[in-house]
Structure 1
């Protein structure tokens, strides 16, 4: 009996040691912290184009394994780093859609502990097959390896000149050619498009002198748009719902159509094989990259950088949502169904003008 008790005690001791060792093993592996049962909830603002990514059950589960959960609320990239009504809610992190927002956040008094680009996606123009075919005939669109490239400067010049769609080879549409973006004072895609347009008119990365000379042209482009959505996600939804007649051309992000197609493969297959007008992605030459920097405001959110740059999260971002990695390249299976939809690399890219020029441009556009 004594031997039995002794064996039982040794067994308990061994179990305790194994359990303690297991605890420290899990604690020291960040991707398994969630198994300990403790979880930190983080609150912050994100750009609308990342809403589906953070709501993805696979992404939520992967983040939980790190002992985190995210309470994210959608806000325009520009407003989240400038509007005191949002900043006064004490977000622990901000996740806008442009690296320049880091500088603007600092100028707005945000105390930044750290920042790092998590994802990348280029700014593109979404249109429909009849428009793409017409612009191809008129020389504004070229097709390289199955991907459509747009001479955006020529298109903007035509819009400023009040050119009809028919003069651009698009007989399916009536009236003057137009393109629509989001509100540049609220949403990043409109913000970046305004900077790209200014640089195209100036012939290089725009400076304050270029703004004085060409800012009026950018104003005219945006004035002709009429109502501008506050969110890239909402504008993309309007594009899909409005169709060829409602939204002939909009500014968006490369990943949006990919994410939408992957969300319902059967729907995408029906659209591709159907008789109606099909969505087409036009890559402006040059374009600008929408880098997505995570801005850490509170120290409790510092672990998010580690989580979002992990191999698992990067692969999910690419394979299910079409986001490129921090360097603008694929971060997942190169045999994924989305590979054929995306160019392997985006080689014609302009930097965005500096924060001072962009803030002055925003003030001009707001007026």
Structure 2
């Protein structure tokens, strides 16, 4: 009898434990605290270097996991990725609509299922306090409402073309002639887009066409030929800019988000960055639109997930990317970086994909 009673008690304990466990799981599921039971889908692709930290951040990874997605991403230059895409890629994430058009016209273009801008970042120049002050005195840069605007880009390019020495604009401590360092335009989008901005500027501020290209292309090529070795990615160039300083890198081309992201990842350097580094906004500039190219159903799911408001909010506040969605505001006051405008108002269109292809081809020949 006692054995029978003990067995009943043990059975009751097992049932109670099972009920408690199942009930707890049910409550957790209803409250949204558990990720779906099925294993998350792995999405594989390539992205520009400026977006790698965003995709691999803990918060973005968790938000995507909650939507059943894991991302395996490889770093690749925007121009290179659309030329070298693999059948294993579920997505490509370059930094310009021009890259999308180039992909469409490639042999792999038929794989495109969907594309959409996820967020935006204007092309800017990064420089230093002493260089910016000299450019302000020269009438090239204007400091207005806390933001440094390049109001006379034609004059700046003319100084570079004429090989004017830094000492001629009051910077005797800097060696050599004025130069604007950029990434390799045949591999990286920031270098490619600055080539477009340069060509448009040299074309009297008008968008370069197939008819006007021959007049400006030799000048653009000459400016790039003087740069020597060019970094293959924006992140590599930005890191060297910060590491080697004003003597080696007085001015570089980059994306607005790079300083924001670096400041948030290296808060111990914020005071020094505020004191020494300056963001210079060309007037007009060009937008890097960061469109995601979905090559499979998994790529389409990632595209949809990245448009979620919470991810878009993180993109701005933690990585400095301006939202690509209507109705989403980007407030500079929430970011510990000085010199960010609330909006980018002066923007120049890019040349057509066919014209950009000719520019890139010529700039990759040296």
Q: Given the two structures, how large is their TM-score scaled by the length of structure 2?
A: 0.88
1:250 aligns with 2:248: no
103, 110, 129: which one aligns with 2:101 = 103
Secondary structure of residue in 2 paired with 1:81: helix
C-alpha contact 1:33 1:67 (8 A) present in aligned 2: no
Quote the residue 2:189 is aligned against: 188
Secondary structure of residue in 2 paired with 1:305: helix
Q: Quote the offset at 1:168 in angstroms.
A: 2.5
C-alpha contact 2:77 2:187 (8 A) present in aligned 1: yes
**CA 327–163 in structure 1, closer or farther in 2 if over 3 Å, else same:** farther
Quote the residue 2:132 is aligned against: 132
**CA 334–248 in structure 1, closer or farther in 2 if over 3 Å, else same:** closer
Q: 1:252-267 alignment to 2 at 5 Å?
A: 252-267=254-269
Q: Quote the offset at 1:65 in angstroms.
A: 0.7
1:361 aligns with 2:324: no
CA deviations over 1:149-202 (Å, ceiling 9, x no partner): 112221111111111112233333122111110000100000101111111111
**CA 204–308 in structure 1, closer or farther in 2 if over 3 Å, else same:** same
Q: Quote the offset at 1:16 in angstroms.
A: 8.5
Quote the residue 1:352 is aligned against: 350
Bigger CA radius of gyration: 2
CA deviations over 1:260-302 (Å, ceiling 9, x no partner): 11112232124446xxxx1111111111010000100011221
Gaps of 5+ in 1: 1-8
Aligned partners of 2:209, 2:112: CA distance in 1, in Å? 27
Aligned residues: 351
Aligned partners of 2:143, 2:122: CA distance in 1, in Å? 18
Q: 1:196-275 alignment to 2 at 5 Å?
A: 196-202=197-203, 203-272=205-274
Aligned partners of 1:366, 1:18: CA distance in 2, in Å? 61
Quote the residue 1:299 is aligned against: 297
Aligned partners of 1:192, 1:327: CA distance in 2, in Å? 22
Q: Quote the offset at 1:35 in angstroms.
A: 3.1
Secondary structure of residue in 1 paired with 2:118: strand
Gaps of 5+ in 2: 1-14
Quote the residue 2:179 is aligned against: 178
Aligned partners of 2:222, 2:124: CA distance in 1, in Å? 20
Aligned partners of 1:329, 1:142: CA distance in 2, in Å? 30
Quote the residue 1:149 is aligned against: 149
Quote the residue 1:69 is aligned against: 70
C-alpha contact 1:134 1:171 (8 A) present in aligned 2: no
**CA 21–130 in structure 1, closer or farther in 2 if over 3 Å, else same:** closer
C-alpha contact 1:93 1:297 (8 A) present in aligned 2: yes
Aligned partners of 2:191, 2:351: CA distance in 1, in Å? 14
Q: Quote the offset at 1:45 in angstroms.
A: 0.3
Aligned partners of 1:207, 1:332: CA distance in 2, in Å? 33
Secondary structure of residue in 2 paired with 1:102: helix
Aligned partners of 2:53, 2:298: CA distance in 1, in Å? 24
C-alpha contact 2:36 2:68 (8 A) present in aligned 1: yes
Secondary structure of residue in 2 paired with 1:124: strand
Aligned partners of 1:121, 1:77: CA distance in 2, in Å? 14
Q: Quote the offset at 1:352 in angstroms.
A: 0.7
Secondary structure of residue in 2 paired with 1:100: helix
1:290 aligns with 2:288: yes
Q: Quote the offset at 1:90 in angstroms.
A: 2.2
C-alpha contact 1:330 1:344 (8 A) present in aligned 2: no
**CA 330–137 in structure 1, closer or farther in 2 if over 3 Å, else same:** farther
